Structure 1
C-alpha cells in the first residue's frame, strides 16, 4: 500500500514511518519541512494523491483550551477533506486514551482538543474507512514533563498505563497493515504514575553515568516531588478499560535505549 503519514517527523510519526516501511509499504512522509502544513491547509491534498491510507500523527502540545481546539479542529479538518478527495482511501488518526470526564474538564485544554479532533473525523469520514487509534501516554512524555531544579525533580501526578512510543507505533503499524477500522486502544503492561516512572528513569540515568564515569564524581538520583493535579487525570481518567497491551515495561525500555 501507499500510505501518507502527516506529522512524519514527530516523536511518534517518525517511528510509525519506520515500522510501515519495514512492513513493505510505500510511505509519503508529510511534514512542514517539505511544505505540508495541516493547520494552514497547505500541501495536504497534494500529499494524499494516490495513497490508500492517510494517517494523522500531527500534534500540538498546549493546555490552552482555545489554542488546542483551534489547532486540532483546523488540522484534522484539512486532512479529512484531503481524504474526501481520494475516494476509497482509509483514514487513521492517532489519538489518546482518555475517559469522557477528562475532556469535560475545562482545566485540560489539550484533551478537549483531542476530543474535538476525534469528533471531526467521525463526522467527516465514513465509519467503514476510519481507524481511531488511541494510545496511552508514552514513557518519553514523562521525561519531557519532568522539571529538575538541582537535587529535586518536579513531576505531575498523573495515573497512567504508559508504554514506549516505539511500541505504540509498532502496534499502530500492525493495525493499519491489517486494515482495521473502528477504535483500537493500546497501553503498557502496568498501571503506574508519572512520579514513579520518573524515579525509574532518573535512577537508570545515574546508574548509566556511574558505569562510564571512571572515578569521576557522579550525580545523585534527584528527589522526586509529585505535583498534584486536579480532576480525573490523577485518578483513572487516563486508564483505558480493555486495551491491547505492550509487554515492554519501563525497565525494558530503559535497557534498550
Structure 2
C-alpha cells in the first residue's frame, strides 16, 4: 500500500512513518523539505499518484488566530483536491478531543475548520481526535509559570503518549474509512495541575504548582471536561510512570 504522510517529519509523523514502513508499506514523507507542500500545492499531484491513503499530520507554524485558520483550511482543501484528482481511497487526519467545545480558542477554531473541510469534501475519511500528549507537559508548565510558580487549572486531563498516538494513527490508516470521528486518550485521568506537579517533581524541577481553580487552557476558558473524552475512546497502553521512565532514560 502506498501512503503519503503530510507532516511526516514531525513528532507523530516520524513515528507513524517508521511503523508503517516496518509493516512493509511504501511511505512518502510529505513536507516542504521533501518538495511536498500542502500550502503552495508544490509536489502534491506527483505525491498522490497511485497513493492509497493520505495521513494529514501537518501543523501550522503560527498560532496567531488568522494565520492558523488560513493554514488548516488552505492545507486541507489543497490535499483533498489533489486526492480527489488521484482517486486516493482514504484521508486520515489527527485532531483534538473536545475541539468543538473550545471554540473561544483560536487554534481550536482552526482545527474544527479543518475537520469541516474534510467532512464536507465527499472523500472517504477518518478523523482521529486525540487528547493532549505527555510530551506537552513541559510546555504547559512553562506557559503558566510566573516567578517560579506554575498557576494551572483543575480541569480534567487524560494525556496520551506520542508512541500510542502513532500506533493508533497507523492502525486507523490501514483500516477502512470510518467516515466519522474516533477518539483516543491515555489510560489515566488526572487534574491538570496534578499531573504537571508529578512531572516537575520527577524532573527535580523546583517550581511550585498552584491550582488556581480557573478552567482555562492556553488563555481560553473551557469546561472542566472539555479536554477528555465524553464517551467511548480507544485508550493507549503507556501510562504516566511508563512514559516518564522512558524520558528519564533518554536524559
Instruction: Normalising by structure 1, report the TM-score.
Output: 0.84
Q: Does 1:120 align with 2:117?
A: yes
Rounded to whole Å, the distance in 1 between the matches of 2:121 and 2:48 is 16
Quote the residue 1:199 is aligned against. Answer: 197
Rounded to whole Å, the distance in 2 between the matches of 1:242 and 1:15 is 25
Rounded to whole Å, the distance in 2 between the matches of 1:41 and 1:114 is 20
SS state at 2:227 partner: coil
Question: Contact 1:96 / 1:114 at 8 angstroms: preserved in 2?
Answer: yes
Deviation at 1:53, TM superposition (A): 0.3
Tell me which of 227, 233, 238 is aligned to 2:227.
238
Quote the residue 1:252 is aligned against. Answer: 242
Deviation at 1:125, TM superposition (A): 3.5
Rounded to whole Å, the distance in 1 between the matches of 2:172 and 2:108 is 23
Rounded to whole Å, the distance in 2 between the matches of 1:225 and 1:42 is 48
Rounded to whole Å, the distance in 1 between the matches of 2:147 and 2:24 is 47
Rounded to whole Å, the distance in 1 between the matches of 2:100 and 2:33 is 35
Within a 5 Å distance, the mapping from 1:177-188 to structure 2 comes to 177-182=174-179, 183-188=181-186
Tell me which of 108, 130, 137 is aligned to 2:132.
137
Q: Does 1:159 align with 2:156?
A: yes
Quote the residue 2:33 is aligned against. Answer: 33
Quote the residue 1:10 is aligned against. Answer: 10
SS state at 1:93 partner: strand
Within a 5 Å distance, the mapping from 1:222-237 to structure 2 comes to 222-226=207-211, 228=214, 229=216, 230-232=220-222, 234-237=223-226
Deviation at 1:155, TM superposition (A): 4.6
Within a 5 Å distance, the mapping from 1:166-181 to structure 2 comes to 166-181=163-178
Question: Contact 2:99 / 2:109 at 8 angstroms: preserved in 1?
Answer: no
Question: Contact 2:12 / 2:57 at 8 angstroms: preserved in 1?
Answer: yes
Deviation at 1:156, TM superposition (A): 5.8
SS state at 1:82 partner: helix
Rounded to whole Å, the distance in 2 between the matches of 1:180 and 1:91 is 8
Rounded to whole Å, the distance in 2 between the matches of 1:62 and 1:88 is 29
Alpha-carbon displacement from aligned partner over 1:98-118 (angstroms, at most 9, x marks no partner): 153322x2xx00000000000
SS state at 1:145 partner: helix
Rounded to whole Å, the distance in 1 between the matches of 2:63 and 2:225 is 19
How large is the Cα RMSD of the aligned pairs?
2.1
Q: Which moved more, 1:172-181 or 1:78-87?
A: 172-181
Question: Contact 1:162 / 1:188 at 8 angstroms: preserved in 2?
Answer: yes
| Structure 1, unaligned runs of 5 or more | 207-219
Rounded to whole Å, the distance in 1 between the matches of 2:23 and 2:129 is 21
